[in-house]
Amino acid sequence: MKVMIVVTHLLGTGHLARALTIGRAFAEAGDQVSVVSGGGAVSHFDTTGVNLHQLPSVQSNGTDFTTLLCKDGTQAGPAYLQKRQDRLTELLADIAPDVLITELFPFGRRILKEEFTTLLQAARAMSPRPLVLSSIRDILAPPSKPSKAAYADEMVTNFYDGVLVHSDADVVPLDLSWPVSTALAPFLHYTGFVAPAPPDETPAMRRGIVVSAGGGTVGDKVFETAINAADLAPDMPWLLLVSGEDSRRIALNAKAPSHVRIEAPRPDFRALLEKAAASVSMCGYNTALDVLQTGVPAVLVPFDDGGEVEQGLRAAALSTQNGIAILRQDALSGTSLVDAIADVQAANKRPPRIAGMDGAARTVEIVRDLHRRSLQ
């Protein structure tokens, strides 16, 4: 098949990471895959087998998702957004996909609804019409008012053939965060969690603390607190993986003791977790799966700026397992972080999770089956 995945990440980079993981799975199965990204470029992501197309990028104004900014920080105006929309419909015509997948929309990215609606209308007018699917993570930002859920139901009913839910219904059902109506329920297809291939066997000796906050520019409080905690734990090496501009890392490095290394995010992040004595991180979808697959003792600091609840819900679901603890941002201090790390290290060991992590391969199977049925 020819598969086109459309994704725009606005704050972190998890949406693009998941889209690329799914794209690589289609490519490995022999399909032609195009991922169209509308967020900022991420140089260290693996694009093996995937044709990556970059739209004029946008980002959110922090946690204000009602304002879109260009790369230079200026507000994205109508002409700029029209340029994105035109390029997107051009790509649809050029690729002529058998399958079109929109990541998150219509359950999110409503700020881009004109762009997505134009894409969906163009896809519906094609002959043959592509199979159209939405791709969503385990936990969504709950709708702040009923009209948002009603809008998603209406869009799914009018334009979509299915919704791929990248979760295990027995672990994190969609209705934990989103009202699943009788209209929406028949469209849902649970794929399992979308994660890269399982890492190698965990080494017997773990050493060092790995601190991360995803691929966006959030997490300053986590990194500042980690530096304070490192002062209280001088015998343990610390590695802080800090995204964003070099100036951000330089400023943190000026405050850090000698046993703290500060680097940009690395493609071998999961290998680092395999060898770490503990992980300190936020609780985005991809990081949560890395924690589960490596079995690393983990302190989760859910991102809750601007009233965000997604990561808090996910962290609560994971914290029932051995060696995983939640430390809220408002409770962060050097002492509380050191204590939390000690607690997860002292807990009973948690084996790396294998079951239910083949969501990318299952996605390929589900989509191929849906496509085959659409041709009958």
Domains along the chain with CATH numbers: 2-195+356-374 (3.40.50.2000), 209-346 (3.40.50.2000)
Predicted pLDDT at 42: 86
Amino acid at position 268, single letter: D
Considering just the CA atoms, what is the radius of gyration of the chain in Å? 21
pLDDT band at 65 (very low <50, low <70, confident <90, very high): confident
- What is the rounded CA–CA span in Å between residue 46 and residue 44? 7
On the question of pLDDT at 204 being above 60, the answer is: no
Encoded tokens for 259: 């046993």
Predicted pLDDT at 123: 98
- What is the rounded CA–CA span in Å between residue 246 and residue 263? 9
On the question of pLDDT at 202 being above 60, the answer is: no
* Contact present, 142 and 150 (Cβ < 8 Å): no
Backbone angles phi, psi at 79, to 5 degrees: -65, -40
Which stretches within the chain are classed as H helix? Answer: 14-28, 78-95, 113-125, 146-159, 220-232, 246-253, 269-275, 285-294, 310-318, 334-346, 359-374
Distances from the Cα of 63 to the Cα of 66, 203, 207, 309, angstroms: 9, 38, 35, 12
pTM score, two decimals?
0.85
Average pLDDT over residues 250-275: 92
Q: What are the pLDDT digits (tens) for 284-323?
A: 998 999 999 999 999 999 988 878 888 999 999 899 999 9
What are residue 262's DSSP bridge partners?
240
Encoded tokens for 282: 């936020």
pLDDT band at 250 (very low <50, low <70, confident <90, very high): very high
Q: What are the pLDDT digits (tens) for 333-367?
A: 999 999 999 999 999 999 988 888 899 999 999 99
What are residue 32's DSSP bridge partners?
2
More confident residue, 202 or 103: 103
- What is the rounded CA–CA span in Å between residue 359 and residue 372? 20
